[in-house]
Amino acid sequence: MYQGFFSGKDSGFDYGVIGHTGLRGWWSPKTLYKGAQANMDVFRLIAVAAQSKHDLYKKDAKNEEELKLVTKKNHEKKLAEANDKLSKIYVGKGEALFRRATFFVVTYDRRTDAVARPINIGTASVKTAVQQMNKYTFEQILKKDLNIAYLYGVKDASEGAGGDAFHCSEGELTDSLCRAMIGKAVTADWMVAPKEWINKYMPPSSPDYKYYAVVQNTLNEDGKGPQAPALVNLTFDLQGSLATYRGLLKTTDGKQKYNIGIVGHYAIQKFYEPRTAIKGSGANTDVWEMLTAIAQTTFKAVEAVPKDGMNEEALGLVTTQAAEAKKQGILKKLRALYEGKAPTLYKNYRFAGYKFDKKKRTFGSLGAVNSNSMKVGLTQLVNRIN
């Protein structure tokens, strides 16, 4: 929110300036001074406010530590610690994945509030991906700029899977800044939203095929702190849903029920109309954080991986070995379908099979087998699946 800083005698104020608790900037300095001395009292007022309200700018600095400067020795120490931490992220065996997955790094610049995805890696090896991500992070972020926060994530291409975040420079994935980077990755489609949240295979005929809003009130009007994010179900129609959503954020009698929000869909990876009080380069960081908070609580998704390290299983990625084991299990069940004694039939019968691609949502044919043996017919169809 905006705040006013004033000073004066008796009644009224002689000079003042407007600041903001979430933005870098000052507006409308007012002063009685003219000419070369204009605004000197305003400048002084800003310093007084910082010293009295925030305990800033009050101590003399006699060395690098007191001035909070980073020495080369301390920087090298931090680099060694960071490199050791990066080396412990992956603890798997380097197993090959069943399908390629897309790994990425999200960065957040604390000075400009800019969020970016500087590196994107497509590979069937988690080990290879993490090694490349670590190399980029160490060389391009840690060595050059300590003001950059970063997040590791994966947009899985396997059947039915979504995406996940698995490492954040700020610690737990429930950290405010980590949440903002996760939310940005989801809304930008860098990372697929959790499958519990967005079901890409949901048919339009489903009663759950509709829009929803994630909203929150952070105004702290009752003195109890920001309210928890809320999930509001909307309708099947986008325009009708947006109208309802805008009504939730509309000011009524000088009050808003919610002051930030965004609209999504339960089956479509798309988001609409982020609303936030933050403007400029940091716009929507509170929306992204709120979105992730809903995913981590309501949907129990985007959970942190084990503290002792991450592997393919912890990320929910399917390895080639696991896929082959699943396939052999399915074939075993299919081969057990026939329980007869394989008698010869009096004529050739036509045995046919069909398949369904869960990812593309398409049907296909396994062809047909003409045989006077049910066992032979079914066996040949099963072999075509193999």
Residue-wise DSSP of 209-227: -SEEEEEE--S-TTSS-PP
pLDDT at 306: 52
pLDDT at 10: 46
What is the mean predicted confidence (pLDDT) over 54-68? 75
* Contact indicator for 121, 105 with CB cutoff of 8 Å: no
To the nearest 5 percent, what fractions of the chain are helix, strand and coil?
30, 25, 40
The pair phi, psi for residue 281, each rounded to 5°, is -65, -25
pLDDT at 11: 44
E strand map for the chain? 2-7, 15-20, 26-30, 96-109, 115-125, 148-155, 163-168, 211-216, 230-233, 251-252, 255-256, 260-265, 272-275, 349-357, 362-371
- Of 237 and 219, more confident: 237
Q: How many residues does the chain have?
A: 386
What is the mean predicted confidence (pLDDT) over 260-288? 88
134: pLDDT strictly greater than 90: yes
* 236-272 residue pLDDT tens: 999 999 999 999 887 766 677 888 999 999 998 899 9
Distance CA 380, CA 193 (A): 40
160: pLDDT strictly greater than 50: no
Two tokens at 220?
């702290």
* Contact indicator for 173, 179 with CB cutoff of 8 Å: yes
Q: Which long-range contacts (CB under 8 A, 24 or more apart) does 18-27 make?
A: 19/46, 19/49, 22/277, 22/278, 22/282, 23/278, 23/279, 23/280, 23/282, 27/2
Q: Which long-range contacts (CB under 8 A, 24 or more apart) does 242-251 make?
A: 242/272, 242/273, 244/213, 245/213, 245/215, 245/273, 246/273, 248/213, 248/215, 249/215, 249/275
pLDDT at 181: 94
Two tokens at 54?
């925030």
- Of 105 and 362, more confident: 105
**Residue environment code for 47-80, b if the CB has 16+ CB neighbours within 10 A, otherwise e:** eebeeeeeeeeeeeeeeeeeeeeeeeeeeeeeee
Q: pTM, whole model, 2 decimals?
A: 0.75
193: pLDDT strictly greater than 70: yes
The pair phi, psi for residue 296, each rounded to 5°, is -80, -20
- Of 145 and 180, more confident: 180
13: pLDDT strictly greater than 50: yes
- DSSP H/E element including 293: helix 285-297
308: pLDDT strictly greater than 70: no
pLDDT at 8: 55
12: pLDDT strictly greater than 90: no
Task: Return the domain boundaries, the chain.
Answer: 2-53, 89-315, 337-385
